[in-house]
């Protein structure tokens, strides 16, 4: 598969680990650090190490798995380790993990000594099709997601499809929601392909197409002024449902599970407000509800969910602004939705 060119850096798909070894050799780095979490240390690092062992100057930094690690305290821990190792400005950080590791590793590297080189090796579907592309780095503070961070591009991204084999199925579904979104916002043919494919572990060609779409969008609009808003489809309602579930459910929804619900609600809004045809709403609803388990959202939660939507950083002047669809494959940004409309969309989901 073709290497995808992003903002001055390549995204490799074929022989990625060999490409990584070549990249490291060429870069003449004083030292190489691999950032992992417990799971990627166990499942992914051995694949990389087997080939990277030709180099002798690399060290591994491992953090606990999960969003709880994506904090400034963990960053301080990593910065201190870099200092202890005597890391200078010409060292390299390899972020080997899901979105938590790529976001946090990117942030640590982009600030250590005002910035050292870093590359991503995303190991979850979500981080392959979303988090590793676009140059956003960051950490959470006081439970506020991604509140501190930078826009810094990696020097390269290396996609390895083998990594996905050890991912739990719920993690696959989480990344899949973003892939389906890519089809819905700008490529009907890709949506049709996804709809009819075996998605237990999506084929590398499908991952490649999603990365291509996300990359085109972020290259055209690096600072989120226009077309990048297309990526928000499903995320106004979805983020509120995700946050609510994080606060209230023991076994809370993953990001993608929440976005799948958000996409059904926002497809309904698209149908009511901007003419998404009935048949296309029915199709989106049926594909998403056959892939994702039903989640109970009672009317009594609507007020809180609406309150969460109002806090969304995408809003301006207290109005709730959604990215909707005029057709499958065609998005429309900046649609103001009222509280009644948003609650009705949640009722549509609840009656499925």
Binding site for ligand NAD (CB under 6 A): 37, 39-40, 43-44, 65-67, 70, 97-101, 103, 123-124, 126-127, 130-131, 134, 136, 145-146, 163, 166-167, 171, 174
- The smaller minimum CB distance to ligand NAD, of residues 134 and 183, is found at 134
Pairing of the two strands 144-151 and 136-141: antiparallel
Residue 167: CB minimum distance to ligand NAD, A: 5
Measured from each CB, the residue nearest to ligand NAD is: 99
Residue 237: CB minimum distance to ligand NAD, A: 17
Residue 51: CB minimum distance to ligand NAD, A: 17
Residue 270: CB minimum distance to ligand NAD, A: 23
- In total, the chain counts a number of residues equal to 352
- The smaller minimum CB distance to ligand NAD, of residues 38 and 344, is found at 38
The span from the CA of 34 to the CA of 53, in Å, is: 12
The span from the CA of 248 to the CA of 237, in Å, is: 16
- The smaller minimum CB distance to ligand NAD, of residues 220 and 299, is found at 220
- The smaller minimum CB distance to ligand NAD, of residues 209 and 214, is found at 214
- The smaller minimum CB distance to ligand NAD, of residues 99 and 234, is found at 99
The span from the CA of 280 to the CA of 271, in Å, is: 9
Look up residue 1 and give its two tokens: 């598969």
**Cα-only R_g, the chain:** 20
Residue 191: CB minimum distance to ligand NAD, A: 20
- The smaller minimum CB distance to ligand NAD, of residues 39 and 345, is found at 39
Residue 160: CB minimum distance to ligand NAD, A: 9
Owner of token pair 């904090």: 71
Look up residue 82 and give its two tokens: 């870099």
Backbone angles phi, psi at 193, to 5 degrees: -65, -45
Q: Output the CA angle 102-107-109, nearest 5 degrees.
A: 95
CB–CB of 147/140 below 8 Å? Answer: yes
Residue 41: CB minimum distance to ligand NAD, A: 9
Residues 6+ apart with CB under 8 A from 238: 255, 258, 259, 260, 261, 262, 263
The span from the CA of 37 to the CA of 46, in Å, is: 13
Residue 252: CB minimum distance to ligand NAD, A: 13
Pairing of the two strands 32-37 and 92-97: parallel
The span from the CA of 271 to the CA of 30, in Å, is: 57
Phi-psi region of 106 (alpha: psi -120 to 50; beta: other; left: phi over 0): alpha
């Amino acid at each position: 598969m073709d290497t995808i060119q992003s903002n001055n850096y390549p995204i490799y798909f074929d022989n990625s680990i060999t490409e990584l070894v070549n990249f490291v050799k060429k870069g003449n780095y004083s030292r190489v650090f691999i950032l992992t979490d417990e799971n990627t240390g166990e499942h992914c690092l051995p694949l990389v190490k087997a080939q990277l062992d030709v180099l002798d100057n690399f060290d591994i930094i491992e953090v606990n798995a999960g969003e709880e690690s994506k904090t400034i305290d963990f960053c301080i821990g990593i910065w201190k380790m870099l200092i202890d190792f005597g890391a200078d400005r010409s060292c390299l950080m390899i972020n080997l993990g899901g979105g938590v590791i790529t976001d946090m590793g990117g942030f640590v590297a982009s600030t250590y000594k005002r910035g050292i080189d870093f590359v991503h090796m995303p190991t979850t579907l979500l981080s392959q099709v979303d988090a590793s592309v676009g140059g956003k780095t960051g950490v959470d503070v006081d439970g506020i997601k991604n509140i501190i961070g930078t826009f810094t591009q990696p020097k390269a991204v290396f996609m390895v499809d083998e990594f996905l084999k050890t991912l739990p199925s719920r993690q696959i579904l989480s990344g899949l929601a973003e892939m389906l979104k890519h089809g819905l916002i700008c490529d009907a043919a890709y949506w049709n392909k996804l709809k009819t494919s075996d998605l237990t572990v999506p084929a590398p060609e499908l991952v490649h197409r999603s990365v291509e779409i996300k990359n085109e969008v972020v290259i055209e609009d690096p600072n989120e002024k226009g077309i990048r808003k297309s990526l928000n489809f499903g995320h106004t309602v979805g983020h509120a449902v995700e946050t609510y579930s994080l606060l209230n459910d023991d076994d809370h929804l993953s990001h993608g599970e929440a976005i799948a619900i958000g996409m059904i609600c926002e497809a309904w809004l698209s149908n009511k407000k901007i003419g998404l045809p009935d048949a296309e709403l029915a199709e989106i609803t049926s594909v998403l509800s056959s892939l994702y388990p039903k989640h109970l959202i009672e009317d009594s939660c609507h007020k809180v969910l609406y309150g969460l939507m109002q806090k969304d950083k995408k809003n301006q002047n207290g109005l709730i602004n959604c990215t909707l669809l005029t057709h499958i494959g065609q998005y429309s940004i900046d649609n103001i939705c009222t509280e009644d409309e948003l609650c009705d969309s949640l009722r549509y989901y609840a009656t499925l």
